[in-house]
Amino acid sequence: MAGCAGYIDQRAALREAKAEAQYPPTGQLLEVNGVTVHAHVEGSGPDLVLLHGASGNTRDFTFDLVGRLRDDYRVIVFDRPGLGWTDHIGEENRNPIAQADLLRAAADQLGAKHPIVLGHSYGAAVAMAWALRDPGGPPALVILSGTTYPWQGEFGWWYPFISSHFGRDVAVPLMTGFAPMSKVEDWVIAGIFKPQPVPEGYSDYIGAGLSARRDSFNANVEQIGALKTYLEYMAPHYPNLRQPIEIVHGNRDRIVGLELNSLAMVSQVPGAVLTVLNGMGHMPHHGAPEEVVAAIHRAAERAGLRQLRTAAPSPY
């Protein structure tokens, strides 16, 4: 058994090393309060921070969206703690509020003291935490398919199993060491994008092997598993926010519910405006990037950071 465990560990380590060599940091590695934070920075203009979702990294945004924004904004894309090339931050790694504090300090180190903050999926919870911790800070927020409110019930069997001792010590190393990346890309990535197709070249670019590393996999599991508790604390404070909030959500998103999250926010938060994309799933920044760029422009216009070009849409 010891020999088998050693072989599994060696196999997992080899695949992790291969993924890290194949998908190195695309930006700079900052030292922030003793923590390494990966930041990809491009463009000029008002500061705009992008925060990726669960299991993701900066490459989800640098694949296409950053190129659409860099002529109008100084775009700063962060790997969230424990994912991509940003360090795990210990017990606080599961806490979106602590994640926001770290990334806000990183943005400040880059000279972005009051950036617009965009969050996708889980990253939306970090964006909301950023605003709650620094109410006078972000001049505007942009929320894409955001997980921002607690849900009813609990997860099924998967998260309790994979976060158990057996899951962490046996199942995760086995998946890291032996799961075929082609199947991960076909099954997992395709499922995230449904009903839209995965953009050509995305699976090769995103670096699924980075998310499959044992530490990253476990960090993602613990973040998702703890999120509901933090949202129960955060959500009652959202109505106190006064900055413009532009929300984009597809009505065919089966990963993060439109009604529970975005419709709830627009009904409770004074500055929230919702754009519902008909037929869109969970990845609007890939399936409808023009709509997402337009929402960012509206947020900047409403915050007085960009000249008003078109009238802001009516609330949903």
Summarised one tens digit per residue, pLDDT across range 18-51 is 999 999 999 999 999 999 999 999 999 999 999 9
Check residue 2 and give its pLDDT.
Answer: 58
**Secondary structure (3-state) at 246:** strand
What type of residue sits at position 157?
W
| Of 106 and 172, more confident | 106
Check residue 295 and give its pLDDT.
Answer: 98
What mean pLDDT do residues 282-295 have?
98
Check residue 224 and give its pLDDT.
Answer: 95
What mean pLDDT do residues 75-103 have?
97
Instruction: For 133-169, write each residue's pLDDT tens digit.
Output: 997 889 999 999 999 999 987 766 666 777 787 777 7
Instruction: For 54-67, write each residue's pLDDT tens digit.
Output: 999 999 999 999 99
Domains delineated in the chain: 2-302 (3.40.50.1820)
What mean pLDDT do residues 272-279 have?
98
Check residue 135 and give its pLDDT.
Answer: 76
Check residue 162 and give its pLDDT.
Answer: 74
Tell whether the torsion through CA atoms of 161, 167, 171 and 176 is positive or negative.
Answer: positive
pLDDT above 90 covers what percent of the chain? Answer: 78
Check residue 36 and give its pLDDT.
Answer: 98
pLDDT above 70 covers what percent of the chain? Answer: 92
Strands 116-120 and 74-78: unpaired
Strand ordering across the sheet containing 35-43? 28-32, 35-43, 74-78, 47-51, 116-120, 141-144, 245-250, 272-277
| Of 165 and 264, more confident | 264
pLDDT of 259 strictly over 70: yes
Check residue 312 and give its pLDDT.
Answer: 47
What mean pLDDT do residues 204-211 have?
92
pLDDT of 127 strictly over 80: yes
| Of 102 and 3, more confident | 102
Check residue 177 and give its pLDDT.
Answer: 75
* DSSP-assigned beta bridge partners for residue 42: 75
**Secondary structure (3-state) at 292:** helix
For the CA atoms of 207, 51, 156, 234, what is the dihedral angle to 10 degrees? Answer: 170
Spatial contact of 55 and 125, defined as CB atoms under 8 Å apart: no
Check residue 315 and give its pLDDT.
Answer: 46
pLDDT of 172 strictly over 60: yes
* DSSP-assigned beta bridge partners for residue 307: none
- Residue 168 corresponds to which tokens in the numbers above? 């962490």
pLDDT of 311 strictly over 60: no
Check residue 225 and give its pLDDT.
Answer: 92
pTM exceeds 0.95 for this model: no
Instruction: Provide the mean pLDDT of the chain.
Output: 92
| Of 307 and 282, more confident | 282
What lies within 8 Å, CB to CB, of 196 at 6+ separation is 280, 281, 283, 286, 287
What mean pLDDT do residues 69-89 have?
98
* DSSP-assigned beta bridge partners for residue 272: 245
pLDDT of 185 strictly over 50: yes
| Of 285 and 160, more confident | 285
With cut-offs at 50, 70 and 90, classify the pLDDT of residue 6: confident
